[in-house]
Amino acid sequence: MQSIIRFFINSNIWVAFCVLGLVFSAEILLEATNLKISQFVFSSTIFAYNFQRVVRLKKGHEHYYKDWLYKNVKAVYFLMLISATASAYLFFDFRSTTKIAILFAGSLSILYPFGIRKIPFAKIFIISFVWSVSTMLLLVLENNIQISQDIIFRLASLFLFIFSITIPFDIRDVEYDLRNVITIPLFFGVKRAKYIAIFALFICGLIAFIQYLEMTLNLANLLALLLLYILASFFIQKSDKRKGERYFSFWVESLSLISYFLLLISELIF
C-alpha cells in the first residue's frame, strides 16, 4: 500500500488531482464548466511536472525523488507519453485564444528547468502564473467569459493563493536551492517568508470580502474561501524543512483540492 501511495505522489498524479481541484473551484466561482479544460489541465500537469523532474535529474540536480525516479524511470516515461498524447489530442479542439494561452504557459513550463528558474525569485512567480492560467484563465477563455474587474480580482486572488502555498515548498527546498536559485526563504529567511505568505492570504481574504460587498461573491463562497485561507495559514506556519516530505507533497499540496471541497460543501449547506 505504501508503494502505491508513494508512486501516486512521486509520479505527480497527486499534484495533477490537486490542480484539478483548483479547476473545479474556478468552475464553482465562475458558474461555468468545461470538461475538455479539466481533462487537458490534468494530463498536461502530469506531463509537465514529470518532464521538469526528469530534466533536472539528468542535469545532475539533487532532489528528494532522485532514487525513486531512477528505479521507476520506465513507468514515468510511459506516464509522460500517455499524458502528452492526451494533452495534444485535446489541444487542437480549443479556441484560438485558449491555444495561445496554453502555448505561452506551456513554454514557461518546458523552459523552466533549462535556466528560467535560476532568475532570482522567478521560480515562485512562474509557478503561480502558470497555475493561475491553467486553472482559471483557460476556463475563462474557452467559455468566452468576458474579462471584467471581477475576473481580474479572481485571477489575482488565485495567483496570491498559489504564491502563498508555494512558499512552504521553497522552505523545504532551502538546502537544494542554496547553490542553484534565489528564493524568498533564502533571501528573507524562513520566518519572514512565512509572514509574506500569510500576508498574501490576507490580501486574498480582503479581495473576497470586497467581492462579497460588490455582490459578485455569495456568502457561502466567501465563508469557504476565508476558511481555506485560515487553514492554509496554519499549514504555512507549521512548515519547516525538518518536516517529512509527505507533509509538503501531500498535506500542503492538498490545500488546492481542499479549496474545491470547501466550496462544494458550503454551497450544499447554504
Q: Which of 200, 124, 204 is nearest to 157 (CA)?
A: 204
φ and ψ at residue 220, rounded to 5 degrees: -60, -45
Q: What is the span of the domain harbouring residue 140? A: 2-269
Is pLDDT larger for residue 10 or for residue 66?
10
Least confident of 36-40, 55-59, 92-96: 55-59
- Compute the average pLDDT of residues 86-114: 94
- Count of domains for the chain: 1
How does the average pLDDT of the chain come out, rounded?
A: 91
Q: Tell me 120's DSSP state.
A: T
Question: In this predicted model, what pLDDT tens digit does every residue of 210-248 receive, in sequence order?
Answer: 999 999 999 999 999 999 999 999 999 999 877 877 888
pLDDT of residue 62: 58
Least confident of 96-110, 176-190, 236-250: 176-190
Spatial contact of 157 and 196, defined as CB atoms under 8 Å apart: no
pLDDT of residue 6: 83
How far CA 52 is from CA of 4, 94, 162, 181, 207, in Å, comes to 22, 25, 19, 15, 33
pLDDT above 70 covers what percent of the chain?
A: 95
Rounded CA gap, 45 and 69, in Å?
Answer: 17
Rounded CA gap, 78 and 65, in Å?
Answer: 17
Tell me: pLDDT of 139 over 70: yes
Is pLDDT larger for residue 56 or for residue 32?
32
